Structure 1
Amino acid sequence: MFAILTVCTGNICRSPLAEQLLRTRLADLDPYVASAGTRGLPAAPMTVEAAHIARALGVPDADTDAHRSRFLTEQHLDTPDLILAMTREHRRAIAELAPSRLRSTFTIREFARLAAAVPADEVRAAADAAAAPSEKLRAAASVVASYRGLVPSPEDPADDDVVDPYRQPWETYLLSAQQLEPAVTAVAATVRAALT
């Protein structure tokens, strides 16, 4: 088994959507995918808008209905093999809680941007040197992290973030999903390259 954690602010819009999309798209690999928020109400459901988008993107109703938010703690950061923040601010909060996990922590759009530059053979070679699925994913994440500084940063640093749609109009939810969904696709492709 391997584990992925997604992190946003309130754990009711972006991170549960990312969690559920990854779980759905990697279901055949039996992942453990969870999410948490750096602030917000405990045990709150997804917003209606985020749940609607999740369903439209193929997430089962039971997943969206079952979601309840939770606060991010240091313990949540012990076991995930890959930690995906929605913004640079969330990545910074993760680094403050668990500095040793920085090499496994990315904003989800940063991961997608870096992974696009990494040859699939390089990911596979690193993963093949490991035994368990968890170790394979950590090896792949390490390879992607090694491209920091080699791949040009975006002109606008905010291009590594997923916009927060909470309490915003429907158009902002759509924009957030349009930023998030391609990044989820890139993460899933890298995970598959490492594990299959």
Structure 2
Amino acid sequence: MESPEPVRILTVCTGNVCRSPVAERLLQAGLNQVLPGGFEVRSAGTRALVGDPVQPLSADIIYMFGGTAEGFAARQLTGRILRPADLVLTMSSSHRGEVLQLDASLLKRTFTIREFARMLDVLQERESTTAGGGYQFDGRRYADPISANTALWRSLPARAASVRHLSLAAEAADNDVIDPYRRSADYYRQMEDELAPAIISVLRFARLNAPAHSSQ
């Protein structure tokens, strides 16, 4: 019997040393608590500083929120890395454009992380996706919680996009996370202020909609 496939999430920024590693490591840490083995979160950069570790001030943020920056090495975004992603969360609208230049088929699965978080907040208010019992989603029954969870998250981009008109940013810049690379600690604090609420929204949605009877 084949092992159930996890939800594959890819976070994307420029150098893959400041923003997307924070998103990767904190999403992975939080999602592991929701459903162990249910999610695989990785990251890459559109102009990556290949092989570099997480920038120290970004690593501090990761540790402060309970994640780990150990063993990280920046990698360049490629079509091969993009292909298996169920969901691509970028740190800015320009990164989203670069993702789609590499693979236009990801159009409906790629969002800026702040935009996606707002959509999930609206979606959670409008509907409950939690199954009533067993490993169920969308009227189907699954053999295990990971398969049910993967089915839910693979349907999520289309459902989230359906409420985009209810979650528009006041300004276009509100979709982006500032790039603090080679800048002062104040910019890292701004990055944290913009990115952390989005991560929290994604984790809250995952927790509230975890398959019934899953390990939590």
TM-score (normalizing by structure 2): 0.82
Pairing 1:45–2:61 present = no
State the partner residue of 1:188: 203
Paired residue for 2:172, among 157, 165, 168? 157
1:1-196 to 2 correspondence within 5 Å? 1-28=6-33, 29=35, 30=37, 31-60=39-68, 64-119=69-124, 122=127, 124=129, 128-129=137-138, 131=142, 132=147, 133-148=149-164, 150-151=165-166, 153-196=168-211
The one-letter amino acid paired with 2:81 is H
CA contact (8 A) 1:10 1:38 kept: yes
Distance 1:138 1:162, change over 3 A: same
Displacement, 1:193? 3.8
RMSD between aligned residues: 1.9
What does residue 214 of structure 2 align with? none
Q: For structure 1, which runs of at least 5 residues remain unmatched after alignment?
A: none
How far 1:78 moved relative to its partner?
1.4
**SS in structure 1 at match of 2:206:** helix
Does structure 2 conserve the Cα–Cα contact (< 8 Å) formed by 1:2 and 1:32? yes
The question of whether the paired residues in 2 share the 8 Å contact of 1:123 and 1:190 is answered with no
Q: Which has the higher helix share?
A: 1
Identify unmatched segments of 5+ residues in structure 2: 1-5, 212-216
Query: Cα distance, 1:100 vs. partner?
Result: 1.4
Q: How far off its partner does 1:157 sit?
A: 0.1
Once the two structures are TM-superposed, the CA of residue 112 in structure 1 deviates from its matched residue by 1.2
- Cα deviation, residue 110, structure 1: 0.3
Instruction: Provide the rounded CA distance (Å) in 1 between the counterparts of 2:130 and 2:203.
Output: 17
* Structure 1: distance between partners of 2:196 and 2:25: 11
The superposition leaves residues 134-193 of structure 1 with CA deviations (integer Å, 9 ceiling, x where unpaired) of 222011222111222x22522320101000010110010011011101100111122334
Native 8 Å contact 1:136 1:195 kept in 2: no
C-alpha separation in 1, matches of 2:95 and 2:128: 26
Whether the aligned pair in 1 keeps the contact of 2:115 and 2:169 (CA below 8 Å) is no
Contact 1:104 1:145 in 2 (8 A): no
Following superposition, the deviation at residue 36 of structure 1 comes to: 0.3
What is the letter of the counterpart of residue 151 of structure 1?
L
